[in-house]
Amino acid sequence: MKKTLIACLALPLLSLLPGPAAAHTDEYTSLEQKHAIHISQRTIEEFRRADPNLAKFFKISAGYVVFPKVTKGGVGIGGAGGRGAVFRTDGHPIGLAKLSQVTLGVQLGGQTFREIIFFETREAMDNFKYGGIKMSAEASAIVAAEGSSTHAAYRNGVAIFTLPIGGLMFEASIGGQSLRFQPLP
């Protein structure tokens, strides 16, 4: 009788405890999303300070992806990766993004940098959102610095800007970036 009474009292209390890993994972994912968006917004301000002329890209693009930190390295075979946030033209976050890259060729070293990819049209943005996007080695990035964006233009629907963080890399390789989109709930 005592055991039954204890079980009846304990059962409602157990329901107040954190649930299995799935419930905890949702909370972690939400915190991770908020952090990625916050860091990406700070990165946007860094780009704006580095080159105030980037304002035109923020204003006229259909949207953009911000990668606060992309890490790249290689010895013969190389790779890069980063995570970031996706924004509409009005600055409203709509999702998260993952960047991955594999390169082959003469390369040695490692570096980190920030990257923003602007989409010229809604179609270019939708191609990214609904099918991912692969950019060939021909897609070149412009290092954001005072005035560097003045004559920059979209190429195949995208314009890419980077800000170096650190490292040194010698590279004469071929490869491309692959981008994936995950919408916010």
Report the C-alpha gap between 88 and 65 in whole angstroms: 9
pTM: 0.76
Largest CA distance in the chain: 83
**Is pLDDT larger for residue 106 or for residue 157?**
157
Would you call 6 helix, strand, or coil by DSSP? helix
- Given a contact cutoff of 8 angstroms between Cβ atoms, the answer to whether 148 and 89 are in contact is no
pLDDT tens digits for 85-100? Answer: 999 999 999 999 999 9
Instruction: Tell me which residue has tokens 């946030």.
Output: 85
| 3 pLDDT higher than 80 | no
Q: What is the pLDDT of residues 48-84, one digit of tens each?
A: 999 998 999 999 999 999 999 999 888 888 888 999 9
Cβ atoms of residues 92 and 62 within 8 Å: no
pLDDT digits (tens, 9 = 90+) for 108-157: 888 889 999 999 999 999 999 988 677 654 455 666 655 555 567 788 88
Give the per-residue pLDDT at 7.
Answer: 40
What are the Cα distances from residue 139, in Å, to 15, 34, 78? 53, 30, 17
* pLDDT, tens only, 7-25: 433 333 333 333 333 333 3
